[in-house]
Amino acid sequence: MRPGEKSGGNRFGLFVHWGLYAIPAVHEQVLARGDWKHEDYEALAGRFDPVRFDPGEWVRMAKDAGMTYLCVTAKHHDGFCLWDTKQTDYNIMRTPYGRDILAMLAEACERGGMKLSLYYSLPDWHHPDAYNPLSSHQWKAKRTEGGDYAAYLDFVKAQVRELLTNYGPIYTFFWDIPPLIHDPSVNELVRSLQPGILINDRGFDRGDFATPERTVPEGERFPAMTEACQSVGAESWGYRAEEDYFSASHLMSSVDKIMAMGGSYLLNVGPTAEGTIPEVSKTLLGRIGRWYTRVSESLEGAGPASRPYSIRGSDPCIVTEKDGYTYFHFWNGLTRTAFTFLNEDLPEPRRAVLCNTGEELVLRYGTLPTLMDEDHVARRKLWSVANIPVDEIPGEPPVVRIEWK
């Protein structure tokens, strides 16, 4: 299984890391990595006023990219909360902005037909009882001695009740930083408040799905439900003014491989302190989205190939199937304008189409001069898909759809 399988298949989603850290515009963990004093960092709440925040625009941008869900950092490691929580004053209502950002985003998602997911950090560098020596990301804990983690866990549960009661249906719940404490009652609470919700594997038990981060795993199929996450920024998940960005081709390749393997893909952007998505991020999402919407039929809800395919050459390929079609994902690109099946027992292909452009490709059956028998004669007749315009789709992973007779 994988995120979304209960409701139709794997999905492409937008991750949003946003909070006070957008003001210094360095990194979402700038409090720790910049070695700030707590009081200096927390004073940023008095300056947070994202007057240009337009949740409807975020939803439209995500939908235009072919995304079907949006996951936002309700609370990151700094402990600042983007909703009207009654558990701490360190929240969006105590800023110059003074409006419940999560409520606004939930309304925009509902209006735009977008599923809403929530990220929640277990490390909390503001709460005095949050220090957990068993876990990581504790560098900037408010207090490392004399704390009461049981009291913090009560705080977490109270916030979970708010998040899963007041903001409508929640698609997935993304815990961050495994506490290395086994307590099934926490996820039981989550499920009691939102039946059918999917929970990741970074909480107090195994949860429902794995979360590889900034990696493209080996293999051709995930053994269990998986949601990979990556950011358009190579250095930061939150807004960084001097960000180094991944190329569109790298991100498209990652999306294609992860989703062809049966996983969902969560691609992150970091909004500015004013609430806008940086132009470079929007441009990347636009380019990736134009490719994705053309090939999404081969990814969303597709299953693994029902038979093995042997393809000549070194270009890696993952094969998916859906609705009687077979899709060949060359997630790392094609080095030539054709590919040949080495299987001699294939059914006859009826039609081949390049999903990237919609154009029909040439099907050939015959010998290749470079494929010789032991006596150096080319006798093997094989099927090839030819005339693939690889140079007309630079940087895009080619996806070829084949219909068989």
Note whether 85 and 104 are same-domain residues. Answer: yes
Note whether 292 and 400 are same-domain residues. Answer: no
Mode of pairing for the β-strands spanning 349-354 and 359-360: antiparallel
Note whether 227 and 369 are same-domain residues. Answer: no
Note whether 219 and 168 are same-domain residues. Answer: yes
CA dihedral 53, 58, 60, 62 (to 10 degrees): 170
Q: Which domain holds residue 223?
A: 5-298
Give the model's pLDDT for residue 32.
98
Q: Which of 238, 264, 298 is the last residue of a domain?
A: 298
Contact yes or no for 375/231 (Cβ under 8 A) = no
Note whether 124 and 166 are same-domain residues. Answer: yes
Give the residue ranges of the chain where pLDDT is below 70.
Answer: 1-9
Give the model's pLDDT for residue 5.
44
Residue 60: Cβ-neighbour burial (10 angstroms; 0-12, 13-18, 19+): middle
Give the separation between CA 176 and CA 179, rounded to whole angstroms. 9
Note whether 87 and 139 are same-domain residues. Answer: yes
Q: Which of 298, 329, 348 is the last residue of a domain?
A: 298
How many residues can be counted in the chain?
A: 405
CA angle 174, 254, 242 (to 5 degrees): 75
Give the model's pLDDT for residue 9.
56
DSSP three-state, residue 227: strand
Note whether 244 and 346 are same-domain residues. Answer: no
Q: Position of tokens 């006596």?
A: 375
Give the separation between CA 207 and CA 210, rounded to whole angstroms. 8
Give the model's pLDDT for residue 259.
98
Q: In whole angstroms, how far apart are CA 65 and each of 31, 202, 322?
A: 32, 27, 22
Note whether 168 and 309 are same-domain residues. Answer: no
Note whether 335 and 219 are same-domain residues. Answer: no
Note whether 237 and 328 are same-domain residues. Answer: no
Q: What is the CATH classification number for the domain harbouring 386? A: 2.60.40
The structure's pTM equals: 0.96
Contact yes or no for 98/328 (Cβ under 8 A) = no
Q: What is the CATH classification number for the domain harbouring 60? A: 3.20.20.80
Give the model's pLDDT for residue 3.
47
Note whether 140 and 179 are same-domain residues. Answer: yes
Note whether 310 and 198 are same-domain residues. Answer: no
Give the model's pLDDT for residue 2.
45
Helix (H) or strand (E) holding 16: strand 12-16
Give the separation between CA 219 and CA 262, rounded to whole angstroms. 11
Q: Which of 298, 331, 355 is the last residue of a domain?
A: 298
- Number of domains observed in the structure of the chain: 2
CA angle 180, 183, 188 (to 5 degrees): 130
The contacts of residue 336 (CB under 8 Å, 6+ apart) are: 313, 390
Give the model's pLDDT for residue 6.
43
